[in-house]
């Protein structure tokens, strides 16, 4: 309980202190070093300063990040706006182009003079270039249309003819799928069944040894007698075989 002395690890001043149970130990500085009260105050002040510095750096970093993300947001919005404007501009251009084409080509058939699509079927004069259209021109077009019509008709008939085969193919695929499913289920069922038999067999082999030894002596009754661990005398077949000897 005596007064002990040590030196301040920072300024080297000799410290005296009560080393008893309720003594006033000086501030520790690491494991074995002590600090005088002035140096301890300095140390606390330094630590606080350090803490404030860290907090301010953290705040700065947060602000910087916030600024960056806001900048990125606005950049993205601007880019989106530009993209939207480009899209709308293209759409308007396309519409104008379509309208111009429609205006230049208001008909169903091409005029052989100006090559715009200006003619209605059978017209004798182009409304655009005023060129006259011969009956021969129309005959050629009608012939070609008839050929195209015939080809389309044949294609449709072929498609119709193959209808039942398509149905049959579909049905076959369905059947194959169903068959596979049944096979899988059977395999699963058989596997479980065989595993059950195997487990039961192993159980009989290893857990009913007394019964199997009784088997050499008698029949079914002896098996159950052995299983119940009754004396073999209680087995009538055993008794009968003994009497026979
Ligand atoms: Zn000191
Ligand atoms: Zn024309």
226-242 pLDDT per residue, tens:
556 655 555 555 555 55
Between vectors from CA 108 to CA 106 and to CA 109, what angle results, nearest 5°? Answer: 110
d(CA 160, CA 152): 12
pLDDT at 96: 97
Per the structure, the complete domain to which residue 214 belongs is given by 208-245
**Residues 199 and 213 reside in one and the same domain:** no
pLDDT at 207: 75
**Residues 212 and 201 reside in one and the same domain:** no
Does residue 86 lie within any of the structural domains? no
Side-chain-side CA neighbours of residue 36 (13 Å): 14
**Residues 188 and 226 reside in one and the same domain:** no
Distance 142 CA to ligand 2 centre (A): 19
Adjacent-strand bridge partners of 117: 110
pTM over 0.95: no
Three-state secondary structure string covering 164-214: HHHHHHHHHHHHHHHHHHHHHHHHHHHHHHHHHHHHHHHHHHHHCHHHHHH
Does residue 238 lie within any of the structural domains? yes
Does residue 119 lie within any of the structural domains? no
Does residue 106 lie within any of the structural domains? no
The domain tally of the chain equals 3
pLDDT in tens, the chain (245 residues): 578 888 998 898 988 888 777 777 888 888 788 899 899 999 999 999 999 999 999 999 999 999 999 999 999 999 999 999 999 999 999 999 999 999 999 999 999 999 999 999 999 999 999 999 999 999 999 999 999 999 999 999 999 999 888 888 899 999 999 999 999 999 999 999 999 999 999 988 887 655 555 555 555 555 555 556 655 555 555 555 555 55
Does residue 48 lie within any of the structural domains? yes
pLDDT at 229: 60
Does residue 100 lie within any of the structural domains? no
**Residues 12 and 32 reside in one and the same domain:** yes
Torsion of CA 80, 86, 87, 90, to 10 degrees: 180
**Residues 185 and 237 reside in one and the same domain:** no
Q: Which residues surround the ion ligand 2 when the cut-off is CB under 5 Å?
A: 111, 113-114, 126, 128-129, 131
d(CA 7, CA 13): 5
Distance 12 CA to ligand 1 centre (A): 6
């Amino acid at each position: 309980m005596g007064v002990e002395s040590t030196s301040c690890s920072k300024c080297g001043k000799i410290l005296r202190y009560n080393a008893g149970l309720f003594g006033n130990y000086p501030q520790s500085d690491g494991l074995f070093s002590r600090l005088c009260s002035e140096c301890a105050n300095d140390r606390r002040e330094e630590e606080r300063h350090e803490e404030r510095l860290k907090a301010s750096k953290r705040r700065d970093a947060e602000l910087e990040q916030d600024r960056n993300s806001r900048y990125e947001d606005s950049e993205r919005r601007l880019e989106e706006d530009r993209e939207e404007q480009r899209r709308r501009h293209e759409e308007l251009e396309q519409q104008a182009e379509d309208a111009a084409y429609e205006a230049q080509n208001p008909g169903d058939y091409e005029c052989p003079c100006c090559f715009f699509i200006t003619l209605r079927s059978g017209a004798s004069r182009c409304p655009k270039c005023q060129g006259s259209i011969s009956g021969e021109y129309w005959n050629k077009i009608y012939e070609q249309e008839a050929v195209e019509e015939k080809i389309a008709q044949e294609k449709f008939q072929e498609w119709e003819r193959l209808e039942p085969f398509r149905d049959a193919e579909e049905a076959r695929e369905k059947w194959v799928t169903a068959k596979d499913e049944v096979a899988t289920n059977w395999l699963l069922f058989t596997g479980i069944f065989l595993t059950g038999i195997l487990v039961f067999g192993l159980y009989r082999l290893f857990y009913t040894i007394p019964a199997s030894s009784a088997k050499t002596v008698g029949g079914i009754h002896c098996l159950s007698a052995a299983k119940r661990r009754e004396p073999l005398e209680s087995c009538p077949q055993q008794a009968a075989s003994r009497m026979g000897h």
